[in-house]
Structure 1
Amino acid sequence: MTFPTLPAREGDRPRTGPEVPHLQFTQTSPPQLKEELRQWMATALPGIVPGRSEISVPSTWAVFLSDVAPAEGARLFLPRGNAEFAHLHADGSLHLALDPADHAAFLASGWGEKHPYYDRGVNVVMFYAPRDQAELEVAKKVIAASYHYATGRAPTVTTAAA
């Protein structure tokens, strides 16, 4: 899978924390949008089980590989390294494992930033909290890329046309 082409993100970069827990403080998601994203993740990604993140703060909702093995070479979230590949924070931001070959394109897109431990070899990037429906569709594209990296398969449900 080639990393999707993303539209330009409007506005300034949100303010995020420089350390762990890596959270977003401004431009957060409206609650209904965050819930819509959570529901989409729970239904569009086959072979996953949702639950509380094993690595982030207790309010963080994550998706774990369950009925599907990780793709060969995929580096997912610690501590297991083979199950959690994306999680949604209470602010609406996401942390995702992406194919390292896609990191430069993602970071150049303006939709997110490196995790504070990125330079220590942690394969995690932050996707900024979607603020509206159009940004939610962009989030789905990036989550689909993360799922594809984690599993070697595309999700069964596609995003709406942007």
Structure 2
Amino acid sequence: MTFPALPTREGDRPQTGPEVPHLQLSQTSPAQVRGELLQWMAAALPGATWGRSKVSAPSSRALFLDGVAPARGAVLMPPRGDEEFAHVHADGSLHLALDPADHAAFLSSGWGEKHPLYDHGINVVMLYAPRDQAELAVAKKVIGASYTYATGRTPAPDVAAA
């Protein structure tokens, strides 16, 4: 899959913590936008199941492959690398696994950054918290790319929030 084209992110880069836990400290998601994001993820990513992240803060909600192996060649989040592919922090930012071939396009887009352990072989990037509906649409594209990388499937067509 080719990484989706993303519009330019408006404004300065948010402040993030320099170490683990890697959290976004400014420009966080409003509660309504974060709620819509979680609803969309639950509806549009079949075969994924919610759970407590095995690597993030206890307040994070993680998506796991529901008892199936990842797509061939996919390396997901530690510790196992084969089940958790994304998690959402309380601030609305996400960590996710992306196809390494998509890292340069994602990182140059201005929508996220490397995880502090990225240069130690961890296939995880941070997607900045969506602040409004336009940014929510961008987040859906990036999360969709992570889902496709993890599962080999495309997300369900855009579904309205329930």
TM-score (norm 2): 0.96
TM-aligned CA deviation for residue 157 of structure 1: 2.5
TM-aligned CA deviation for residue 67 of structure 1: 4.8
Instruction: Work out whether residues 44 and 159 of structure 2, in 8 Å CA contact, stay in contact via their aligned partners in 1.
Output: no
TM-aligned CA deviation for residue 155 of structure 1: 1.0
Distance in 2 between residues matched to 1:60 and 1:133, nearest whole Å = 22
Q: Does 1:71 align with 2:71?
A: yes
Distance in 1 between residues matched to 2:48 and 2:96, nearest whole Å = 15
Residue-by-residue CA offset, 1:7-53 (whole Å, 9 max, x unaligned): 00000000000000000000000011101101111111010110111
Q: Which runs of 4+ in 1 moved over 3 A?
A: none
Residue-by-residue CA offset, 1:87-133 (whole Å, 9 max, x unaligned): 00000000010000000000000000000000000000000000000
Distance in 2 between residues matched to 1:17 and 1:26, nearest whole Å = 10
RMSD: 1.2
- Percent sequence identity over matched residues? 74
Equivalent position of 1:29 in the other structure: 29
Equivalent position of 2:4 in the other structure: 4
Distance in 1 between residues matched to 2:32 and 2:111, nearest whole Å = 20
Give the length in aligned residue pairs: 160
Gaps of 5+ in 2: none
State how 1:1-150 maps to structure 2 within 5 Å. Answer: 1-150=1-150
Letter in 1 for 2:78: L
TM-aligned CA deviation for residue 81 of structure 1: 1.1
Distance in 1 between residues matched to 2:55 and 2:41, nearest whole Å = 18
Instruction: Work out whether residues 115 and 126 of structure 1, in 8 Å CA contact, stay in contact via their aligned partners in 2.
Output: yes
Letter in 1 for 2:123: N
Instruction: Work out whether residues 19 and 116 of structure 2, in 8 Å CA contact, stay in contact via their aligned partners in 1.
Output: yes
Gaps of 5+ in 1: none
Distance in 2 between residues matched to 1:10 and 1:159, nearest whole Å = 25
TM-aligned CA deviation for residue 79 of structure 1: 1.4
Distance in 2 between residues matched to 1:2 and 1:158, nearest whole Å = 19
